[in-house]
A and B are shown apart, each in its own frame.
Chain A
Amino acid sequence: LNQRPSIRPLGDSAMTITFGDTITEELADLVVAQSRRISGAGIRGVTDIVSSYASIGVHYDPDAIAYDELQARLAPLLEDPSVNTDDAGSRVHHIRVRYDGEDLDEVARRTQLTTAEVVSIHIAALYRVFVIGFVPGFAYLGPLDARLALPRRDSPRKRVPPGSVAIAERQTGIYPSATPGGWHIIGSTTERMFDPSRLEPSLLSVGDRVKFES
């Protein structure tokens, strides 16, 4: 974690800043802190800052700023490795869930738990938004309790209804729109996770926390 991040081009209009290659909360805190630092610098020509598990994508308009210039602006910002834990978890969203998913019984059977235990384990944790992707507004939440970790379904569903709350491996998430999906559906929410007509279309941002409630 103490080693310097690498800055590499991602084509001619973006660059990747890499801090590591693992999924840990420590790295995720660093990614959130650094992406806020970059965003706060207000560098002209930067159009998008995308945080992933252990890397940040900085997208820019090469007509406004050249690669070398942007790299020179970013390097000193990244030298500050401090992580302010207060702002890392600034927003907590409380999301009401009905644990009525069609895979709930199967999840209980495969994890050798009762459905009530599955629900109480899933609802107990405060989850972190590690990344947003796959489809607009889909947040990868974690870490999911190891007792509930299952591989993805052998054959993905062609259509998972919007609002489905699902789990796979050490992650949980909420499908914002109807898409194909391979996660195990354990519940549903009426919360609109993504709405293109809202000022802030995505309910969740990377670094936010989510607490499920029933």
Chain B
Amino acid sequence: VIRFVRAPAYATIQDAGRRGHLAYGVPRSGVMDAAALHTLNALLGNDAGAAAIEIALTGGEMVFENPHTFAIGGANASIALDGNPLESWSAHRGAAGQTLSIGAPTGGRFVYIAVAGGIDCPVVMGSRSTYLPGEFGGLGGRRIKAGDVISIGNAARRRRHHVSDPLQDDLRPKLGERIVRFIARGESTLERSWRISVASDRTGYRLESEPRETGASIVSEPICPGVIQLPPGGEPIILMADAPTIGGYRIAGTVISADLRIVAQCPPGEEIILEKSTVARAQSELARSSEVFSRVREWSLA
């Protein structure tokens, strides 16, 4: 059990997201940075999609009421256990009564606290993910606040202590112009540099650039996270984890799953470069990353 003493401005429980309820307008939700979740879970011997705590905007402080093994990753953040600095992407042991403090995310947006055994909370429609607008999932469908007590599941026996340096390097959000690959729908003029707007949240990130694109309203079609919408105003929106299930704006393409985390971790004002890819390449990229995660997990388990 972990108790929050000081809650971050934004903290929710998220896992790999919901499947099977899109037909009823229930968004997929889940973590914004799937690779970070998978890697931290692999390191702790958890299932790849076990629930973790997703933090943004500011840091927080929590106390271990029972001993737990945990790991922190995603964007950079200072971490300390009873005042002693700790490394991210490594498994650490928190003894009962010890205080874990996390600073505000830097160089990216989302930091994850994963715990061996996974965060436990009621499963709603097949997932522990919080969907704030619908007020369900996670802790009663809301953000974590000071005083909240978080339950932890049963942990597997494990031995590995940190993620390899090259993989860490791959996982740390990088600033500067990052290439984001997408699968175009029809003729595309999106292949250029875009600035992430401040109008960005878990539903979607708006992109800014001149000249504007030609957007349009359409008869609503199915959509999903990664879809690049072009509303009549001409400023593209990349849909994120909490995206609705259908949408009435022109679809210009879809960011490949492996690169969506690059967008997710991109702070407002930073630039990305959109580059065309194919379904075959996107799917082999996904297969490669799931291989990496299963290797990390194999190493980690005793």
Is A21 engaged at the interface, CB distance under 8 Å to the other chain?
yes
Is B282 engaged at the interface, CB distance under 8 Å to the other chain?
yes
Known contacts A12-B286, A63-B287, A194-B24; A133 and B251 CB within 8 A of each other: no
Inter-chain contacts of A50 with B (CB < 8 A): 22-23, 222, 245-246
Inter-chain contacts of B77 with A (CB < 8 A): none
Which of B20, B137, B220 meets A52, CB within 8 Å?
B220
CA–CA, A172 to B242, complex, Å?
A: 25
Known contacts A47-B19, A48-B20, A201-B24; A11 and B255 CB within 8 A of each other: yes
CA–CA, A135 to B124, complex, Å?
A: 16
Known contacts A50-B246, A63-B286, A133-B246; A9 and B26 CB within 8 A of each other: no
Is B279 engaged at the interface, CB distance under 8 Å to the other chain?
yes
Is B244 engaged at the interface, CB distance under 8 Å to the other chain?
yes
Is B134 engaged at the interface, CB distance under 8 Å to the other chain?
yes
Instruction: Let me know if B254 and A9 touch, CB within 8 A.
Output: yes
A-B contact count (CB 8 A): 137
CA–CA, A133 to B22, complex, Å?
A: 9
Known contacts A196-B124, A196-B136; A48 and B22 CB within 8 A of each other: yes
Size of interface on B: residues with Cβ below 8 Å to A? 44
Is A188 engaged at the interface, CB distance under 8 Å to the other chain?
no
Which of A16, A18, A133 meets B25, CB within 8 Å?
A133
Is B257 engaged at the interface, CB distance under 8 Å to the other chain?
yes
Which of B22, B219, B223 meets A23, CB within 8 Å?
B219
Q: Interface size bucket, A side? A: 35 or more
Give A1-55 interface residues, CB cut-off 8 Å to B. 8-14, 16, 18, 21-23, 47-55
CA–CA, A133 to B245, complex, Å?
A: 6
Instruction: Let me know if B222 and A202 touch, CB within 8 A.
Output: no
Inter-chain contacts of A134 with B (CB < 8 A): 25, 244, 246
CA–CA, A201 to B125, complex, Å?
A: 8
Residue of B27, B219, B222, B282 with most chain A CB atoms under a 10 A cut-off: B222
If A136-B134, A196-B125 are given as contacts, then 11 extra A-B residue pairs at C-beta distance below 8 Å, sorted by A number, are A52-B219, A62-B286, A62-B287, A131-B220, A134-B244, A134-B246, A137-B25, A177-B135, A196-B124, A201-B125, A205-B24
- Listed in ascending order, the chain B residues whose CB lies under 8 Å from chain A are 19-27, 124-125, 131, 133-137, 183, 185, 218-224, 226-227, 244-247, 251, 254-257, 279-280, 282-283, 286-287, 290
- Listed in ascending order, the chain A residues whose CB lies under 8 Å from chain B are 8-14, 16, 18, 21-23, 47-57, 59, 62-63, 66-67, 131-138, 177, 179, 194, 196-197, 201-202, 205-206
A-B contacts, 26 listed (Cβ < 8 Å): A9-B183, A10-B224, A10-B227, A10-B251, A11-B224, A11-B226, A11-B254, A11-B255, A11-B279, A47-B19, A48-B23, A50-B22, A50-B23, A50-B222, A52-B221, A57-B245, A131-B246, A132-B24, A132-B246, A133-B25, A133-B220, A134-B25, A134-B244, A177-B134, A196-B125, A205-B24
